[in-house]
Structure 1
């Protein structure tokens, strides 16, 4: 059985050995013939193809694509290995009119072409390489790019229509092949008629893959803008619809040292209200970014960095940022934010944001935002951003800070509308008590001044004074309440303490004054004409209550009826406290709290002057005596 199988294998090998050499010889002859024909074809191609044909062909192609007149200086250079390729120098695209405006210029343009088509008298080009091109484009008031002047690209853009969720439909004669476009060391100048700005980019290097007009496109662009390197990535299955200003699905990312963002979803080059996708944005250095972008916001120093991630969706007359997560400096927040337009066409931002911790400085700084007249954005906003932008924000935070002051479980709102700007803290924990506040900027181009109202209840002011490391005789332990109302008629962003007027009322429960020995005060008052507060700083003064009323005007506080009531003695003060010099000019008196103790503790008038925290005390030598009552008859 085994011998029979071996005989069959021998017969098969013998049969194959008869026809294999014939097949090998035939295949070799065919391959050799093809190689000879290819070599002959390539060798004779330079004699068969006219350089003038290639030059006129590429001039015609450029003119047909752009709709403008292509002008080429110098003779083309032809290469046939490894692929047929033509190189032209000094290519200029002009408007059709004689001596028309230059729309683009290329130092050197190279393109592959079909050898067979060229021999037949036709030139078809692909795989373009542009060396040092300069492009001048215009963005009209509708946000659309004036791409071409009735050229093939312009007609394709005009006639394109969506055929499916991922494709486009254009007339067959318009669906031209493009291939790969490479740009080296180019520059772009765009005139934006909507804003009146001129944008320039240089050092442009790009790789664009676009097989046909109806097919997807991917692009990677490197450039330098305002002395910063930038990178732009664009990927879309419907690029022609995108250039037509329609809504398409796309992936776009932009990165630079000062700002980066990435967007995936539906987008449009002319109408951002159709956006629907995910946006990620990061600005690591806000002041540097504003300087780079040509803007100047004086209050922006409070902003260090900003980042956000949100789902963006179109709503009526605007956009909604849902599932919003962002960071401002070291504060993180989440919530919902809307960007829409009022019936008058004014942009409005509204929403609800919840912070884990919040710095109130940037929000209050918004009331002093004033744009420099020479900045580019000023031409767009034409004035204060609070006048050109409406805000309606609800803010909450577990922790909040305003300079050295700390707040707990704060609920606040920021409202800018109808020529007024308001910031309200509706409820907040403050130093163990509660706080409400209202800040308002008056109308009149926000130049009419503003007012501030603060109400604090049952707060630990003694602990606050200790934590702030304030010097001098101040309450050490006390729980108090404060009502403060201030106003100014000057613009908020230029107002100083000298421009502020208002009223203050402060009350407190029992506590103690540090660095104030009332017994030593009385003793020194009988011995010396002058002494310093530091001379009586060896003990504390216990009190039952404090009541202070004061008014503010012209850089000073006028103290009215300030009373610090102790168990046995009460201190009263009246006078002026200038802010700018830390000075004091107060008249006061120490007297018995109970009239029945007046004989034992007679009234001691004094004058308190000098600089805080160590002013000079000058006792009044003539003590005020009560009239001696006559005995009853």
Structure 2
């Protein structure tokens, strides 16, 4: 005979089978009533607080799970019949608890939204869900959490949080649009994801993907206390965003309500900063491709200011550490701080602040010169600007109200000290530029070699200063309208590209000849000076002289217009001066003698010629 244990097992199987049959038999009966159409709509409304309208009768499924398929579901504001629906869904699939249904209750275990459309209110420039009802179960639970936070912000009583079960929510091919954006593309399209929140007092996770600004983007987020987060409390948050232009992750604590608050570690990387700017700002970025960028930092702040501490930043091959913050207190966000680079590409930095236009009609000012403000203090052990290398650089980069400036207050270059300032601005629709350069004790020969401008550049130690300002969209236009001044002083050395002996041979013949014919030598000098005034794009030579080791002196005067690249200069070679202490007598003698040789330099920058005149 069967044992007692076996009999119990048989009876357990029989009871289970009977219950299963009862469920299968009863569910269709229950589902055939108003439990699905009415109760499901009531539950959706009870949780969300919105009016729920089902425009079609639900389809009931008993196998393999008890579920309902609702077509044409609409959520709208109870108080505004004429307003557009907050959300519409082509289909909503709801998985229900079979045991709860047998007790006459509706308990969701999973909600699947198929091709939903969510409308956001953007009337004040901020994207938000319009008119969130405060009587829905979720809103009331948030209010309970808010009261607990008010009682003890630092350590709210988490055991008193509502513990209602919450369904898993799945979305397929959703869209997010604005109430005023009927003719505008969706803010987010192709949205597909899963929001898993088992109960209101438990952790929640989100995994989603979609298309934002034309790029596929995936988001993964999790928080240990979602109800406190919705109520404005600080709670742990993990967030990862991945896309082709940008990868970003945050881990720390956050408060996303009201003034907001974040405190944690942020990491981001982009294969091209230019692409990120074009993607986020939705406008073409002129000029050459900006290099890859990475950022790792501890961040802390709120909706008014976010501070990046112990930041590690890289742009191309340039790496930097420092502290900076982003302030949102003015109409334009302001980024300010201090960054120390191991190596800095100043050309890349300037193109980042003010990209070169691709076409003459494009403005040279950077788009963010009108959307963002910058005030960055920079230092670099090494820096480059094209072929120029510098060390121990201290600089300031500023963008404010459309004005772009880059100032190098101190740098070592060409064996001496270098200072440089660049200003770019747009006044009444007209682009303006200003350049200031000051150099002391630099090696002229080294500078000429690095700048690929060796002709007539003294190979000697010296100093110079340049100031010019002009207007236009290109460098040529700026030079052709420039005003300013140039001065230079060099000591003992030589001038490359001048053969004085060959010059005198041509000079004796009395006919003009190309400057190239005397460019095969170096002219020894004891020193050289230059002063020039720029007006309307023309450089007027006030003083230009080279003192030769023979005691002679070469002087040049005239003008050099930037437009047309022409030259109109006259020069003289003066005889040696008197010994020291005999200046007065020598001046009288020299006045009687006059200059030994005079000449004229004309033609173009690319092919100048000399017309000598011999004076006996």
TM-score by length of 2: 0.85
- Report if the CA contact (8 A) 1:54-1:118 is conserved: no
Match of 1:186 in 2: 174
Match of 1:14 in 2: none
Separation in 2, partners of 1:119, 1:551: 97
1:159 corresponds to 2:179: no
CA distance 1:477–1:505, shift in 2 (3 Å): same
Separation in 1, partners of 2:54, 2:553: 99
Separation in 1, partners of 2:475, 2:505: 50
1:67-106 correspondence to structure 2 within 5 Å = 67-96=49-78, 97-98=80-81, 100-106=83-89
Match of 1:149 in 2: 133
1:231 corresponds to 2:218: yes
- Report if the CA contact (8 A) 2:572-2:595 is conserved: no
Match of 2:116 in 1: 133
SS at structure 1 position matched to 2:86: strand
1:483 corresponds to 2:470: no
1:115-130 correspondence to structure 2 within 5 Å = 115-130=98-113
TM-aligned CA deviation for residue 166 of structure 1: 8.9
CA distance 1:341–1:128, shift in 2 (3 Å): closer
1:348-387 correspondence to structure 2 within 5 Å = 348-364=334-350, 368=354
1:428 corresponds to 2:411: yes
Give the alignment partner of residue 575 of structure 1, picking from 544, 558, 562. 558
CA distance 1:591–1:501, shift in 2 (3 Å): same
SS at structure 2 position matched to 1:177: coil
Match of 1:610 in 2: 603
Match of 2:296 in 1: 309
1:511 corresponds to 2:493: yes
CA distance 1:289–1:415, shift in 2 (3 Å): closer
Separation in 1, partners of 2:19, 2:404: 83
TM-aligned CA deviation for residue 585 of structure 1: 1.5
CA distance 1:258–1:33, shift in 2 (3 Å): same
TM-aligned CA deviation for residue 454 of structure 1: 1.9
CA distance 1:333–1:445, shift in 2 (3 Å): farther
Give the alignment partner of residue 247 of structure 1, picking from 209, 212, 234. 234
The range that moved more, 595-604 or 258-267, is 595-604
- Report if the CA contact (8 A) 1:369-1:385 is conserved: no
- Report if the CA contact (8 A) 1:548-1:563 is conserved: yes
1:293 corresponds to 2:277: no
Separation in 1, partners of 2:190, 2:64: 29
TM-aligned CA deviation for residue 389 of structure 1: 5.3
Match of 2:397 in 1: 414
Separation in 1, partners of 2:313, 2:127: 29
TM-aligned CA deviation for residue 490 of structure 1: 7.4
1:423-572 correspondence to structure 2 within 5 Å = 423-439=406-422, 449=432, 451-470=434-453, 473-475=455-457, 477-488=459-470, 496-568=478-550, 569-572=552-555
CA distance 1:417–1:90, shift in 2 (3 Å): closer
Aligned CA RMSD, in angstroms, stands at 3.6
Separation in 2, partners of 1:416, 1:116: 65
Match of 1:214 in 2: 201
Paired positions, count: 588
TM-aligned CA deviation for residue 506 of structure 1: 0.8
String of CA shifts for 1:4-58, please: whole Å, max 9, x gaps: xxxxxxxxxxxxxx9x844224313322332243134314431344253211111
Match of 2:583 in 1: none
TM-aligned CA deviation for residue 355 of structure 1: 0.3
TM-aligned CA deviation for residue 170 of structure 1: 9.2
SS at structure 1 position matched to 2:34: helix
- Report if the CA contact (8 A) 2:213-2:282 is conserved: no
TM-aligned CA deviation for residue 105 of structure 1: 1.2
String of CA shifts for 1:228-273, please: whole Å, max 9, x gaps: 1001111112222333344332111211111221111122334566
The range that moved more, 362-371 or 65-74, is 362-371
- Report if the CA contact (8 A) 2:327-2:335 is conserved: yes
The range that moved more, 309-318 or 319-328, is 309-318
Separation in 2, partners of 1:443, 1:100: 44
TM-aligned CA deviation for residue 358 of structure 1: 0.9
Match of 2:571 in 1: 588
- Report if the CA contact (8 A) 2:444-2:460 is conserved: yes
String of CA shifts for 1:548-583, please: whole Å, max 9, x gaps: 111112222222221112122322111122224433
String of CA shifts for 1:296-355, please: whole Å, max 9, x gaps: 48677473332211101238962321111001232110011133467x777443322110
CA distance 1:530–1:48, shift in 2 (3 Å): closer
TM-score by length of 1: 0.83
> Structure 2: any 5+ residue segments left out of the alignment?
358-365, 579-585
Separation in 2, partners of 1:399, 1:107: 60
SS at structure 2 position matched to 1:159: helix
- Report if the CA contact (8 A) 2:379-2:392 is conserved: yes
String of CA shifts for 1:117-155, please: whole Å, max 9, x gaps: 323433222211111111113368687644732322222
* Larger CA Rg, structure 1 vs 2: 1
CA distance 1:200–1:295, shift in 2 (3 Å): closer
SS at structure 1 position matched to 2:198: strand
Match of 1:260 in 2: 247
SS at structure 1 position matched to 2:167: strand
Separation in 2, partners of 1:403, 1:207: 50
CA distance 1:48–1:428, shift in 2 (3 Å): closer
SS at structure 1 position matched to 2:166: strand
SS at structure 2 position matched to 1:178: coil
CA distance 1:536–1:423, shift in 2 (3 Å): closer
- Report if the CA contact (8 A) 1:297-1:370 is conserved: no
Separation in 1, partners of 2:470, 2:353: 13
